[in-house]
Structure 1
Amino acid sequence: MIQASDIALAYGKRVIFKDVNIKFTAGNCYGLIGANGAGKSTFLKILAGQLEPDKGEVFVGAKERIAVLSQDQFAFDELTVAQTVLMGHERLHEVIAEREALYAKGEFTEEDGIRSGELEAEFAEMNGYEVESEAAVLLTGLGIGEELRERKMRELEGGQKVRVLLAQALFGSPDILLLDEPTNNLDVKSIKWLEGFLERFKNTVIIVSHDRHFLNQVCTHMADIDYSRIQVYVGNYDFWYQASQLALKQRQEASRKAESKASELKEFIARFSSNASKARQATARKKLLEKLEIEELPASSRKYPFIHFKPGRSCGDVILEMDGISKSVDGVKLLDNFSLTVGKGEKIAFVGLNSPAITALFQILVGKMQPDSGTFRWGQTMSTTYFPKENSAFFTEDKTLIDWLGEYTPVTEGESYARGFLGKMLFSGDEALKKTSVLSGGERVRCMLAKMMLSDANALILDEPTNHLDLESITALNKGMQAFSEIVLFSSHDHTLIQTVANRIIEILPGGVIDKMVPYDDYLSDNQVITMQEQYARH
């Protein structure tokens, strides 16, 4: 159990938390959600004791151990992978070190013998004899092979380091587990393994994640940060979303009715207060007006952009035909004799580990890269708009957002037209005058989506569009892609996005291509997919 009591925190005039009281109990997994900047990671740091609030306290059960997913990839560079995992249980690591030093002595004193007995008892109580096998299970599940376990952490790639740090947090069955974006850099198989691990985990888990499918799979409760407070809902992310939207509509409707009633009363009072025959009724209505409570809805930190892609025309019979496309980059063959025919109404998700091949394919289709061999053609009715995985090339000049988006606005339209699209993407008022040089990653993505919306294209090509977006923007993008009536080609690591949008799945592998007209969940349940992914990983 871990409990926060009267927590308050502010940075200058900006209030992050105000009078937060919340208890997280054993056996439950809590998804900590909120808009970007709402304070999710900050609250995890407060719970972990890494950050002092302005007011309030955090209470942890007696002898309960907290484990935190480390965000510092360089903190353990001089340790081996195996040692780094054991560091997840600090006391156990200390006992192991003292035990090894004691047994390395040439001769035992009587005091050494007594201390040895104490250490052995503590070591056994912490299940110390199983540490190596437990660490191995965790590392294997997260895709860290045996050949890496004695290497120094500095020798590992960034994604591998993240997996080892996740194994470190999971190690030793902590009483309270705090995980900030644990699915980052994990492939489908590792995420599935982590879901199973957390479903079996019997202690307290608190997770920050933008992965809606992951939250749905593992969470028993959602802790929603909004209005500088935290409210707990029983159920997973989908249940929270439906319940919170219903609650908001009910509050808005109640407020609307109260305002309407107040207007009626004020109108009657103004009209008849000087009329002798109606004076008593006017006085009675004044009393009613004084008692009428109109709840002022506080400003939510949660904002949903409006994402709507409108095709300028419908697609004809010929959409896209690719024949024998091959492409190598820096001596690595990414595409080998790749062929594809796209039909009407198809929304194709390109999935799997070979993201460079997917990016190369998309760049060929929009003319950013030429194939080494092979041909392709779009139908005469087709027009495309492209969301690149890397968008920095679009923001090299320091312009206001109005000027930036104005370059992609039809010449027949003026500034107000561009402002309208910026407003849809949460850049209203003075926000539209922001300079492109100060935009965050998520703000840049929203600008790129506004650019796409202006294109009126009937084929959308999106390369990992959910990167840098908060849950609200991901939800809005998901709805926009679902509602689009024409062609979508996209890649993403967002399970829910793929499952709800795609009607065709393609995976490009060194040994060939898997191409299936099935929902994503059905695709993943095919044993052949897992086998081929493992073959690719070994390749």
Structure 2
Amino acid sequence: MISTQNVSLRYGDRALFENVSVKFTEGNCYGIIGANGAGKSTFLKILSGEIEPNKGEVIIEPHKRLSVLKQDHFAYDENKVVETVIMGNKRLYEIMQEKERLYAKEDFNDEDGILLGELEGEFADMDGWNAEADAETMLNGLGITSEFHDMYMKDLDGNQKVKVLLAQALFGDPDILLLDEPTNHLDLKSINWLENFLLNFKNTVIVVSHDRHFLNKVCTHIADIDYSRIQLYVGNYDFWYEYSQMQIQQAKDQNKKAEAKKKELEEFIARFSANASKAKQATSRKKLLDNLEMVDIKPSLRRYPFIGFKPGREVGNIVLNVEGLTKVVDGEKLINNVSFSIQPNEKVAFVGDDKATEAFFKIIMGEDEDYEGEFKWGITTSQSYFPKDNSKYFNDCELSLVDWLRQFTDGNVYEQDLRGWLGRVLFSGEEALKKANVLSGGEKVRCMLAKMMMEDANVLVFDEPTNHLDLESIQALNQGLIQFKENILFTCHDHQFVQTIANRIIEFNKEGIIDRLSTYDEYLEYKEDLENK
């Protein structure tokens, strides 16, 4: 068990947490949610001891081991992959190092022998003889296969490092597991493996994530951070959302009834307070009015953008034809002689190899001309593109957001209209005058969405649009794309996003493609049946 008692943390005049007392018990998985800047990651750092609160304390049961998903991807560059995973159990790794030192001693003495015997006993109690095999099993489950196990961390790419650090956090059956955005940079297969691991994990898990499907799958409780407080709810994310919305609606309904009652009492008092025969009733109603209470509905710090796309015209009979398309990068065929057509009103999720999908989107959006085969857009289509890497739109741009958005118009647009588009994605007032090159990752994504909404395209192309977005923005985008009536081509690692939007799934593979007219869950069932044959 891990708990906090009256924990407070301030940065200047701002209170991030105020007298937070909360208990996380064994056998449960707690999803930490809250608006951007509410302090989700900071709270995990308080629990881990990385940040000291101004007041209060964190209490961990004696002899309980706490494990944290590390965020520094370069900290273990000089260590081998399997060794890095085993380092997740600090004491076990120390024993292994000490044993190795003692066995290598030339002047081995009786004292060393006694110490070595004690270490061997502790090593056996910790199941140390299976440590390497356990580490390798975890790595394989996360997609880091055996050819990488003896490599140094510095020789892995960023996504591979993330998986190794996740295996490190999970290794050795920790008593308390703290995970900050564990599904970031994981492919869907690895996310599924992690979900199953946590469902079978018997100890305490506290996780921050923007992946709603993941939170729904693994969480037994939701810890909601709002107004410097933490409120625990039993159930997963969807239960919390429905319950919180119901609470707000009930309070509004109660206030509506109270307002009607107030009006009725005020009218009676005004009519009969001067009437001697009714004076007693008027006085009685005056007391009722004085005692009438309204529910104080404190608005959440969460802010939901408004995201909706309206096509300038309908697509015709032909949307996109692809014939014999092949793309090779560094000798590897990412796309292998594929042919298919996109029909009107299809919302197509591209799954599988991220590099293949990114290459495909760049080709069809005219950003890459180094390929074989051909593609052709229908003459009635217009496309709007959300690239995975949007740095070219922002890095060297010192324009205000109003002028940044103006670049993508014909110039004959009123400033109030540009501010309107920015306001939809939560840049109102002075925020619309921010410089484009100082935006956070989430702010850049919201600007790109404003640009796309303004373009009135009838084909939307998205490459990982939920990266960097908070849960509120993901929900708003998800709903906006569900309501869009024309074509969407997209890739995304958010399971719920794909399941609720796509009506067709295309996977690039070494042989060509798998192409299914189905939902995402139906496609996964199909893939599982294939693998089991």
- Asked whether the two chains share a fold, i.e. TM above 0.5, the reply is yes
Q: What is aligned with 1:535? A: none
Cα deviation code 1:430-481 (max 9, x no counterpart): 2223222322111111111112112222211111111111111111111111
Q: Secondary structure at the match of 1:367?
A: coil
Q: What is aligned with 1:384? A: 383
Cα deviation code 1:210-251 (max 9, x no counterpart): 112222221111111112211112122222222222122223
Q: What is aligned with 2:63? A: 63
- CA distance in 1 between counterparts of 2:179 and 2:111 reads 41
Letter in 2 for 1:78: E
Contact 2:406 2:413 in 1 (8 A): no
Q: What is aligned with 1:488? A: 488
- CA distance in 2 between counterparts of 1:530 and 1:16 reads 50
Distance 1:460 1:256, change over 3 A: same
Q: Secondary structure at the match of 1:7?
A: strand
The answer to whether the aligner puts 1:175 opposite 2:175 as a matched pair is: yes
Q: What is aligned with 2:237? A: 237
Contact 1:409 1:418 in 2 (8 A): no
Distance 1:86 1:356, change over 3 A: closer
The answer to whether the aligner puts 1:445 opposite 2:464 as a matched pair is: no
Q: Which runs of 5+ in 1 are unaligned?
A: 533-539
Please show how residues 286-365 of structure 1 align to structure 2 within 5 Å: 286-328=286-328, 334-353=334-353, 355-365=354-364
User: Normalised by the size of structure 1, how large is the TM-score?
Assistant: 0.91
Please show how residues 91-130 of structure 1 align to structure 2 within 5 Å: 91-106=91-106, 109-130=109-130
Contact 1:405 1:418 in 2 (8 A): yes
Stretch of structure 1 that moved more, 221-230 or 107-116: 107-116
Distance 1:393 1:108, change over 3 A: closer
Q: What is aligned with 1:423? A: 423
Distance 1:266 1:99, change over 3 A: farther
Structure 1 position 70, deviation (Å): 0.7
Letter in 2 for 1:386: Y
Distance 1:14 1:329, change over 3 A: same
- CA distance in 2 between counterparts of 1:481 and 1:141 reads 32
Please show how residues 433-512 of structure 1 align to structure 2 within 5 Å: 433-512=433-512
- CA distance in 2 between counterparts of 1:101 and 1:66 reads 27
Please show how residues 258-297 of structure 1 align to structure 2 within 5 Å: 258-259=258-259, 261-262=261-262, 283-297=283-297
Stretch of structure 1 that moved more, 291-300 or 405-414: 405-414
Please show how residues 119-198 of structure 1 align to structure 2 within 5 Å: 119-198=119-198
Q: Which runs of 5+ in 2 are unaligned?
A: none
- CA distance in 2 between counterparts of 1:180 and 1:27 reads 19
Stretch of structure 1 that moved more, 182-191 or 98-107: 98-107
Stretch of structure 1 that moved more, 184-193 or 57-66: 184-193
Letter in 2 for 1:214: F
Letter in 2 for 1:10: R
Distance 1:129 1:368, change over 3 A: closer
Q: What is aligned with 2:392? A: 393
User: Normalised by the size of structure 2, how large is the TM-score?
Assistant: 0.92
Letter in 2 for 1:206: I
- CA distance in 1 between counterparts of 2:278 and 2:426 reads 49
Stretch of structure 1 that moved more, 363-372 or 430-439: 363-372
Cα deviation code 1:191-218 (max 9, x no counterpart): 2221111111110011111112222221
Q: What is aligned with 1:206? A: 206
Q: Secondary structure at the match of 2:356?
A: helix
Distance 1:408 1:255, change over 3 A: farther
Stretch of structure 1 that moved more, 468-477 or 410-419: 410-419
Stretch of structure 1 that moved more, 400-409 or 506-515: 400-409
Distance 1:27 1:408, change over 3 A: same
Q: What is aligned with 1:366? A: 365
- CA distance in 1 between counterparts of 2:497 and 2:334 reads 25
Please show how residues 220-235 of structure 1 align to structure 2 within 5 Å: 220-235=220-235
Q: Secondary structure at the match of 2:232?
A: strand
Structure 1 position 487, deviation (Å): 0.9
- CA distance in 2 between counterparts of 1:285 and 1:420 reads 47
Letter in 2 for 1:61: E
Query: Cα RMSD (Å) of the superposition?
Result: 2.6
Distance 1:171 1:328, change over 3 A: closer
Contact 1:32 1:222 in 2 (8 A): yes
- CA distance in 1 between counterparts of 2:321 and 2:455 reads 22
Q: What is aligned with 1:247? A: 247
Cα deviation code 1:378-402 (max 9, x no counterpart): 3333222221222223234322223
Contact 1:227 1:299 in 2 (8 A): no
Contact 1:326 1:371 in 2 (8 A): no
Q: Secondary structure at the match of 2:233?
A: strand
Q: Secondary structure at the match of 1:361?
A: helix
Distance 1:78 1:291, change over 3 A: same
Letter in 1 for 2:38: A
Distance 1:363 1:230, change over 3 A: same
- CA distance in 2 between counterparts of 1:341 and 1:64 reads 57
Q: Secondary structure at the match of 1:526?
A: helix
Letter in 1 for 2:399: K
Letter in 2 for 1:414: Y
- CA distance in 1 between counterparts of 2:379 and 2:133 reads 61
Cα deviation code 1:44-103 (max 9, x no counterpart): 001111111111111111110100011111212222222212211111222222233333
Stretch of structure 1 that moved more, 90-99 or 404-413: 404-413
- CA distance in 1 between counterparts of 2:363 and 2:9 reads 50
Cα deviation code 1:282-312 (max 9, x no counterpart): 5545443443333433342211111111122
Stretch of structure 1 that moved more, 424-433 or 204-213: 424-433
Q: Secondary structure at the match of 1:143?
A: coil
Contact 2:335 2:509 in 1 (8 A): no
Distance 1:330 1:269, change over 3 A: farther
Letter in 2 for 1:96: M
What percent of counterpart residues are identical?
Answer: 58
- CA distance in 2 between counterparts of 1:477 and 1:8 reads 34
Structure 1 position 426, deviation (Å): 1.4
- CA distance in 2 between counterparts of 1:203 and 1:432 reads 46
Letter in 1 for 2:388: K
Contact 1:523 1:529 in 2 (8 A): no
Letter in 1 for 2:383: T
Q: Secondary structure at the match of 1:338?
A: strand
Q: Secondary structure at the match of 2:129?
A: helix
Distance 1:269 1:422, change over 3 A: farther
- CA distance in 1 between counterparts of 2:418 and 2:202 reads 52
Letter in 1 for 2:297: L
- CA distance in 2 between counterparts of 1:327 and 1:194 reads 32
Q: Between Structure 1 and Structure 2, how many residues are aligned?
A: 531
Distance 1:307 1:101, change over 3 A: same
Letter in 2 for 1:392: S
